[in-house]
Structure 1
Amino acid sequence: MAFNNTGSCRNPGFNHRNDDELNMEDGLGVVLFKKLKKHKNKILQYIADTGEVDTYEQVLIRSIRTALKLEEMGLGKDDVISMCTYNHKNSCIPLVATFFIGAISANFDPKLSPLDTIHLLKLMQPKVMFVSIESLSFMEKCMEEAKVKCELVVFGDSERYIQFSEFLEPHPKEENFEPTALNDSKETAAVLFSSGTTGLPKGICLSHASLLGWYKNSGIFAVNSGDGVNLVYTTFYWISALWFFIESVIRGDARVVCSKFDPYELWHIIEKYKITSIFLAPHLANEFIDCRLKDVDTSSLKLLLMGGSAPTENMMSALREGLPGTKVFNGYGQTEALTCITVFDESNPEEVEMQIRKPMSCGKVRKAFQWKVVDPVTEEVLGPNQRGELRIKCDLMMSGYYKMDSSSAYDSEGYLKTGDIFYYDDEGCFFVVDRIKEMFKYKAYHILPAILEDVLMTHPAVKEAAVIGIPHGIEGEYPMGVVVLREGYGQMSPNEIEEYVEKRVPEMQRLRAGVKIVKELCRTATSKLRRAEIKKMVLEGKI
């Protein structure tokens, strides 16, 4: 990518995909309907938990019946329809049906905290929610607390609520069903949510035009061309699940559906289903490679993409060694941008080599974006190897926050403030440093937790690490390391780890508040550290 010495990059255009059947003006419902019909004889879903196989035609029929049932319930445009469920055979059906009737999809994750769930229920006010048995009691309590009335539909048996099986009964109108046409492709198709690492999540409005535009004009990867088999563990609460599902259906790929991540089972799943691409959060990738199985065939796996947080250099090396035929990439994205903002191009040999040479880089800014790196205080545009906030601009981003003013998310030139500190090198390769809101000061020095966490992760005993600031009345905040140990290191003392770090960092970055050893760290469902929650627990004496 060409970039100038001001640190900003003009948009050199899109990599256009030729797909005459893909009309952005039609909207997601019409496009998915056409693609499900076109690929009707192909397999769309392999259900790993049960061994079932699900074709495009079977998914289409169930989605049509669900859409007709929703319409009979009086639902349509501008109504919010939600889910709260782990991945299973039918978890994609309400999503597709929602797009078929022109309604808005806004989904919850079973791992969300009660605080976040109650907040989002109040914000979204869904008319119908499809809920798994495991999440039912949790959602009932949250709805009661939020004082939100919503029709619940249960995946499974229920005497109190409508069972999802009722939505799948044959319907007299299914043969002549046509999805709802849009008046404007800029209408909201889905509301997804910010990760909530530094506060309550916000509803991010994604339009039909943006979701389809990313595929048509600038698809991320070319490893699959209608014969791929993809695996994503996240639920439809997350942009990764929504994005890869839409791409799979449009391309005619298959997807493997798993309700839970099991690092040992993943090796066998790759071999059994001949998986070609996987998206994993770095902490899951770390667990996966830690329990490497050498007697399984992973030759089908062409691409492993990581996102959500930064992997370590040792992890990147271990993944490449354990998956010798696989391209291992680290990307950076935000839900506001719908997709990866920075990533190396897997079809470009020069950039593949760069990712190997620079394992900690999250790639180059994708061609669709204008960008700049700025000092967040002075707004000065920075050049190579200077740390500042990455800001981006693109036509295919969010259309705003749901029922909230989004003007503060942009600067005076219309660039989205990512809230993340980056630097880029002389070759235009980007490196994530940390979140702006999670920096703190010791005396006059800025402490970037991610830098100290990287040092902690080089200790052979440390499996996971978080660094937080502990308030000190005079000198600001003292850094504290909170770590999870690897198996076999149970006798390791906090002092030993603290001394290890002290030898490897400048004096002002020493872990003056010490080290705490815990069994697990608080994370979002996509593995981002919830440092604020960890800090709160430490200050309250809960860990």
Structure 2
Amino acid sequence: MLANLRCDELSLQASVIRLSSRMMNDDFYVYGDQNVQVPAHLNFGKFILDRLRLKKDEIALELGETREKLTYKEFTQYAVNMSAALTKLGVGPGDIVAVGSEKRNEFVPTVLAIVFTGATYTPYDLKSGRAVLKHKISITQPKYFICSSFFWQTYSDILLSFDCIEKFITLDDGVDSVISIRTLVTNDVDINKFEPMQVQGQVDIAFILYSSGTTGMPKGVQLTHLNCILNSLPDDFSDESLQTAFLFGEWYHNYDTFMTYKFLALGRKIVYVNEAEPQTFLKSVQDCGVNIAFIVPSFVCYLSKAMEAEKYDLDSLKIIYSRSSPLHNKTIQRVKTRFPKLKNILQGYGMTEAGELTSESWGTKGCKAGSVGMASPGITLKVADPETRKTLGPNQTGEICLRGPVFMKGYIGVPPSKYLDEQGFFKTGDLGYYDDDKYFFIVERLKEILVYDGYKVAPLELETILQLHPGVREAGVVGKPAGVFGEEPTAFVVKQPGVEVTEKELIDYVATEVPPYMQLRGGVKFIQEMPRNPRGKLMRQHLREMLN
């Protein structure tokens, strides 16, 4: 049974906020489709399992580097077997179960096995570092910890220091003093008779993920079963020609996590890699027949310039879906010109707290260059003046704010008053606007805007201009303190391999493209690698530290 949800009336915040949200609608609010069908049980585990059962020998997951595959039948059997074993071990509603592992075929079915028990899943990233790992464990306090042998070897001293963790389980054999999941699974469970634990979908937490931490330590983001279902609705990728998807990122992040569930819900194949490099991406497209690729802007820029990309057969690739930061229109056009079989390059805009806010997939009049698309189903968006908080109309730049049932239950330990405004909207911190057709455009992060001589400068705009230069592979712009003038725009550049370019050449190039106040008065510094977090987002604070 499916339930139609009036998404503008569903809220997981206090009743006062729900009431004010309905009474304070504004002519300038922008609505996605507010009539969204979800299963009446509101159980994320059952939502996915019911779809997994429809497939058998089709490939669900394929590791690009090794071509190791997992069929839907194997995937589903693993998930239900492991879930039954965890239940026998004592895992159930109210428990938090952590997973720490490199990407591998067992990762996603392990997550679903946890959700089937009614417990809450939370992931820990191998690459996050010791301080961040300690922070995440301290705020989520998991009772059970499932990890790979590699994760255990890397962080066992930290894991053993937390008394909240009562049992450790490993995905591998041969780890001393740790339970192997293989010893817990004694026989196959009947897939057709197995049912996940019942939940209260609007209240019970299925996932705890983490904010990116670009402005401090990550915050724990609590996502209910309803949140997860809404994040996994696959309608925007129902095109039958998109049978094989490539995922760049980690399964610790909202974007890659729920893109995976969208394609699993459709019964499609998902190709992933452990070493996310341009060459492994190109080889995966060629060898695995990838039709749609979810990658980051730096990969798209690479495709627009790198001659070696033309050595690969990319004819199967129909759609590139970019995220993390906006692409320049010229970059999009260059890639389309170089690879004529490519139908489109789409841009996504989302966040851990609310999934995809907008998508070009939802555009009613086709794609618009430079846009991140229209409001996604279930979302209500507004653009607010950062100072007065007045709701702005079309073509006026302000802070993008959101509300709707896809929005998280809340941050762990942070009161809603810290991140919601008076109408119950979440303040994203992103500057942007929408045009007369209600297509959204992202300008910059609110906290990253520079001020030079009274003028506001968006680093992202300078970065996109720099990346159009044939000698630039990646660029990052920050402000260099300049006394009474404020901050001078300063660029950090990773050169395109095999291309010579000088600081003066790039300063002069930018000067011809921008007004005087946006020129690179702080100069250009060449570096070997651009600092990015595991999600591919530029870590500007690291660049600022390099100015000293």
User: So what's the TM-score if we normalise by structure 2?
Assistant: 0.86
Structure 1 residue 373 and structure 2 residue 383: aligned?
A: yes
Contact 2:30-2:438 within 8 A present in 1 as well? no
Letter in 1 for 2:412: Y
Of 91, 106, 124, the residue aligned with 2:140 is 124
What is the number of equivalent residue pairs in this alignment?
Answer: 521
CA contact (8 A) 2:31 2:375 kept: no
Correspondence 1:388-467 to 2 at 5 A: 388-467=398-477
The question of whether the paired residues in 2 share the 8 Å contact of 1:419 and 1:435 is answered with: yes
CA contact (8 A) 2:61 2:105 kept: yes
Report the Cα distance in structure 1 between the residues aligned to 2:415 and 2:353, rounded to whole angstroms. Answer: 14
Matched ranges for 1:117-516 at <5 A: 117-140=133-156, 142-143=158-159, 149=165, 151-162=167-178, 164=180, 166=182, 169-171=185-187, 177-216=194-233, 219-224=235-240, 228-288=243-303, 290=306, 293-294=309-310, 296-325=312-341, 326-338=343-355, 340-345=356-361, 350-352=365-367, 355=368, 358=369, 360-490=370-500, 492-516=501-525
Shift of residue 180 of structure 1?
1.1
The alpha-carbon deviation at position 474 of structure 1 amounts to: 3.3
Deviations 1:215-236 (A, max 9, x none): 45x73332248x7222212222
Distance 1:144 1:314, change over 3 A: farther
Report the CA distance between 1:274 and its aligned residue. 2.6
Give CA deviations for 1:457-497 in whole Å, capped at 9, x if unaligned: 2332221111112234433322211111111235x332332
1:525 to 512, 529, 534: 534
Task: Give the superposed CA RMSD.
Answer: 2.8
Q: Is the 8 A contact 1:44 1:253 kept in 2?
A: yes
CA drift at 1:412: 0.8
Q: Given the superposition, is the C-alpha separation of residues 150 and 232 from structure 1 closer, same or farther in structure 2, using an over 3 Å criterion?
A: farther
CA shift for structure 1 position 152: 4.0
Deviations 1:61-102 (A, max 9, x none): 211222233223322112222223232121112201111101
SS at match of 2:35: coil
Give secondary structure in 2 for the equivalent of 1:481.
Answer: strand
In structure 2, runs of 5+ residues without a counterpart are 1-24
CA contact (8 A) 2:358 2:374 kept: yes
Deviation of 1:392 (Å): 1.6
Shift in Å at residue 103 of structure 1? Answer: 1.1
- The residue aligned with 1:19 is none
- C-alpha distance 221-38 of structure 1, shift in aligned 2 (>3 A): closer
- Give the match for residue 43 of structure 1: 59
Name structure 1 gaps, 5 residues minimum.
17-21
Is the 1:370–1:392 contact (alpha carbons within 8 Å) kept by the matching residues of 2? yes
Q: Where does residue 14 of structure 2 map in the other structure? A: none
> What do residues 201-257 of structure 1 show as CA deviations (whole Å, max 9, x unaligned)?
1111111112213445x73332248x7222212222111222122222222222123
Superposition deviation, residue 320 in structure 1: 1.5
* 1:292 CA drift (Å): 5.1
Q: Is the 8 A contact 2:249 2:276 kept in 1?
A: no
- Aligned residue number for residue 8 of structure 2: none
The amino acid that maps onto 2:424 is: G
Q: 1:351 to 1:15 in 2, by over 3 A?
A: farther
| 1:162–1:145 CA distance, 2 compared to 1 (3 A) | closer
1:284–1:454 Cα change, 3 Å: closer
Deviation, 1:347, is: 8.1
In structure 1, the partner of 2:22 is: none
Q: Distance in 2 between matches of 1:415 and 1:100?
A: 32
**Corresponding position: 1:99 with 2:109:** no
Which amino acid is 1:506 matched to? P
Shift of 1:277: 1.8
SS in 2 for 1:474: helix
Post-superposition offset of 1:259: 1.9
TM-score (normalizing by structure 1):
0.87
* Higher mean C-alpha deviation, range 161-170 or range 411-420: 161-170
Q: Alignment partner of 2:287: what SS?
A: helix
Alpha-carbon distance, 1:164 to partner: 4.7
Displacement of 1:367 in angstroms is: 4.3
Q: Percent identity?
A: 26
Which amino acid in structure 2 is aligned with residue 370 of structure 1? T
| Letter paired with 1:378 | T
Counterpart-to-counterpart distance in 2, 1:159 and 1:370: 49
The 1:300/1:181 distance shift into structure 2, 3 A limit, reads same
Q: Is the 8 A contact 1:6 1:381 kept in 2?
A: no
Query: Closer, same or farther in 2 for the Cα pair 1:139/1:304, shift >3 Å?
Result: same
Q: Residue deviations 1:40-73, cap 9 Å, x none?
A: 3432122333333322121122112222332233
- Shift of residue 433, structure 1, vs aligned partner: 0.7
- Secondary structure in 1 matching 2:41: helix
Are 2:32 and 2:376, in contact at CA under 8 Å, matched by a contact in 1?
no
